[in-house]
Amino acid sequence: MTDVPKLRVALVGIRGIPAQYGGSETAAEEIYPRLAARDHDVVVYCRRHKVDPDQKWYKGVRTVVLPSVNTKSLDTITATFLALIDVVARNRADIIHIHGIGNAMLFPFFRVCGKRVVTAVDGMDWTRAKWNRAERAYLRLALYMAVHWPMKCTSIHLRPSVFARSSTGASSLTLLTAPRFAARRAHWHSKDTG
């Protein structure tokens, strides 16, 4: 068995673990404890209004619980901004794994601070009725940033993957299939829309 270099990875952009909401949190709850069990340094940034503020660890994963502006438009971006400050100031990770395109405007700052960025485009957020016209325009611009600024961009959904490639010329976007998460993702989506 060959030695695998120890990774230092931080996950940013989800509500937190344990999973309480959707596919990104479910994936994090499955993947990050496995990385920790393989002796990698992993940290997941969580939002104070979604995770117990006293939580420090979850299944071997360091969790950092930070505040955010708990509104529809500002929750994710403020949580990610505070995570950026923490991960850089404390030098917690070399690789930043960011879920969701709403954070993409911060990608250049992570890169300027010497962090390698990988991202997951998890849906066509700009098409959702909950966003007004200005928010949809922001999300379309964020999609462009999300597929051009990170070192690697992934999606587990075909539709945003095809759209991103055709509308932005993205070549770094990789479509992943995750049949193991399909049933759990369907469960969370039914809770979200019900």
Q: Report the alpha-carbon angle 106-165-190, nearest 5.
A: 75
Burial class (CB in 10 A: 0-12, 13-18, 19+), 56: exposed
Structure-block tokens of residue 82: 């505070």
Give the side-chain half-sphere CA count within 13 A for 178. Answer: 23
Residue 93 gets which letter from DSSP? -
Cβ atoms 188, 26 nearer than 8 A: yes
Percentage of residues of the chain with pLDDT beyond 90:
39
User: CB neighbours (10 Å) of residue 155?
Assistant: 24
Confidence label for 156 from pLDDT (cuts 50, 70 and 90): low
Using CA atoms, how far residue 95 sits from 35, 65, 72, 118, 184, in Å, is: 13, 19, 27, 7, 27
Amino acid occupying residue 134? A
User: What's the topology of domain 8-193?
Assistant: Rossmann fold (3.40.50)
- Confidence (pTM): 0.78
In the predicted model, what is the mean pLDDT of residues 39-54? 95
Percentage of residues of the chain with pLDDT beyond 70:
75
Q: What mean pLDDT value characterizes the chain?
A: 80
Least confident of 5-14, 40-49, 165-174, 180-189: 180-189
